[in-house]
Structure 1
Amino acid sequence: MVPDAEFRSYYGQPVIKAPTWKTPDVPVYFFLGGLAGASSAMAVLGEATGRARLARTSGVTSAAAAAGGTVALVHDLGRPERFLNMLRVFKPTSPLNIGSWVLAVFGTMSGAAAASTVTGLLPGPARVARAGAGLLSPVMMTYTAVLVADTAVPAWHEGRRELPFMFAGGSLIAGAGAALTAVPPAQAGPARAMATVGTGLELAAERRMTSRLGMLAEPYEQGRPARWMRAGQALAVAGAAGAVLGRRSRLAGALSGAALLAGSLCTRFGVFEAGMISAKDPKYTVVPQRERLNERASQPVTAAFVAAER
């Protein structure tokens, strides 16, 4: 019998074209976008619960992260006008186009709110801008997951059910980490809660995704992506535990916040590199396709199909 073929290339080329996205630009863009969204939500929580220091710090962090994410995106695109060109149209079917609009609107509102916080000018409009940014914060935390899942990259596309939850959890981890490093323990209650929820959500989504993907989970569990993912998980767990156990210590809060920020960043790098590896290896495209075809061929012919054939 002829042994099963091992898919290595298609006439010396990958089956699909890997994205031309660069590292570290794109993973940092993913990280900063999530940090901006979660920090905006944290600012709203701080204002609603009377924690002025938390609201002020998180609002400024949100604006700075949104600006930094925009810089990382423009640097990856190569020229600033390419980002501006994406705003010339509004295309609901394009995650990249919608994401560009969300980033532009969110960045404007969070920047305006932060400017008012720093200068003390126009507090009324600033509250409206802060609320608008807060409404967009869930989209900021998850739209990059939709962006990568909408590609043909196997490890991203097949993980489309769980990736938004993973990115949401990682964003909450980052937002909590930024707050913990900058505010006193007395005002960090929402940050500790966010760290716990975000860590649980990210770990649960990652576990479900890798158990469901089968062979396509290999890029997440082998080589450098696996090291990134394991580091992210360990840092997130350590940061969340430290934030809860050391709730009265400013030093413990700062160290826990740094661990949470590093953990969220590591996970973004792991997801990015796992996707790039799966795009370059043809077996991750061909084998699942053949499995789906064989599964469909083995299904019984339905009565409706028989009647249509007759």
Structure 2
Amino acid sequence: MKTRERAMVPRAEPRTYYDRPVLKRPVWKWYIPAYFFSGGMAGASSTLAFAARLRGNHRLARRAGLIALGGMAVSPVFLIADLGRPGRFANMLRVAKPTSPMSMGTWLISAFGPITGAAAVSDATGIAPGVGRLCEALAAMLGPAVSTYSAVLTADTAIPAWHEAWRELPFVFAGGSAASAGAAALLVTPGGDSGPARRLVVLGTVLELGADRAMEERLGDLAEPYRSGRASTAATAAKRLLAAGTVLALAGRRRPSLGKAAAVATLAGVALARWSIFRAGLDSAENPRFTVEPQRRRLSGVSQDIDL
């Protein structure tokens, strides 16, 4: 007859490591989520500009191209502000490492910026139109990578809320980038030419919200940093703004004023969504449970495979 063994002490729960967090909290400041927003919008806007050009919608193409240029102009400012001085950004261009998301991202935006600028200047001035169209096409090809590489970079860190969400984060960022690009174009484009921008707002929002929900469902308990604290407050506001933006965008086909309101709501929603993800990562780094539990699960899975 087997006797049931009872543990003499309760199961240990990780709280600190010698009164210190297991992971060091990231030193990133608000410049980083601002870069997520501006860089993502710039990348998606370049793709929208090229698509509009192919359809003969030159007014939308020009405005989307200028939005891409504006987003790309401020993005390095945010990065350099976070790094501390311009020399640190230049130092990252000394080496190209295909296995490093940061290295590839640095080279990506360094190429994307001048190409986007050349396309926008050519379109605005009429100088070298052939070169301008080529640059516009190249920018459109690089746009999706520019919109999502920051998600890959973020997930490549050891921060639990980011690292464990590596499957869905690129789709979340892609959706938000598309929605913000469509919203910015909708804000500055007359009603008759803004149809593609309005549709991009809706499609981008659906992708952002759908991927975000899939991410939280897959993470389970590890999604707690996204569902609590200031990250949760920002995420809730973001989802409401994005939902309102979609409804207003659909209703604004006949009323331009609603389209403008949709654009503002969507831009604010995407910005808050990027900040929410940033904040969730900071919070997860301070709680050792979110670092230790995924490791325990992986080790448990390996142990079961060995037993089999």
With the shorter chain as reference, the TM-score category is over 0.9
Q: Which moved more, 1:116-125 or 1:153-162?
A: 116-125
Deviation at 1:115, TM superposition (A): 1.6
Q: Work out the CA distance in 2 between the residues paired with 1:155 and 1:52.
A: 42
Which residue of the other structure, out of 9, 15, 33, is the alignment partner of 1:8?
A: 15
Deviation at 1:300, TM superposition (A): 5.5
Residue 44 (structure 2) aligns with: 38
Q: 1:6 to 1:300 in 2, by over 3 A?
A: closer
Residue type of the alignment partner of 2:246: A
Conserved 8 A contact 1:30-1:268: yes
Residue type of the alignment partner of 1:238: A
Residue 235 (structure 1) aligns with: 241
- The yes-or-no answer on 1:19 pairing with 2:26 is yes
Q: What's the TM-score, normalizing by structure 2?
A: 0.95
Q: Which moved more, 1:283-292 or 1:160-169?
A: 283-292
Deviation at 1:260, TM superposition (A): 0.9
- The yes-or-no answer on 1:108 pairing with 2:129 is no
Q: Which runs of 5+ in 1 are unaligned?
A: 303-310
Which residue of the other structure, out of 278, 301, 307, is the alignment partner of 2:307?
A: 301
Tell me the secondary structure at the aligned position of residue 94 of structure 2. coil
Q: Which runs of 5+ in 2 are unaligned?
A: 1-7
Residue 151 (structure 2) aligns with: 145
Deviation at 1:253, TM superposition (A): 1.1
- The yes-or-no answer on 1:270 pairing with 2:276 is yes
Residue 165 (structure 1) aligns with: 171
Q: Work out the CA distance in 2 between the residues paired with 1:52 and 1:228.
A: 37
Q: Work out the CA distance in 1 between the residues paired with 2:42 and 2:49.
A: 10
**Alignment root-mean-square deviation, CA:** 1.2
Q: Spell out, residue by residue over 1:93-146, the C-alpha distance to the aligned partner (whole angstroms, 9 max, x if none).
A: 100010011101111100111122232222211111111000001101110000
Which residue of the other structure, out of 256, 263, 267, is the alignment partner of 1:257?
A: 263
Deviation at 1:257, TM superposition (A): 0.6
Residue type of the alignment partner of 2:42: A
Residue type of the alignment partner of 1:247: R
Q: Work out the CA distance in 1 between the residues paired with 2:250 and 2:212.
A: 23
Instruction: State percent identity of aligned pairs.
Output: 49
Q: Work out the CA distance in 2 between the residues paired with 1:83 and 1:300.
A: 46
Q: Work out the CA distance in 1 between the residues paired with 2:102 and 2:306.
A: 40
Residue type of the alignment partner of 1:41: T
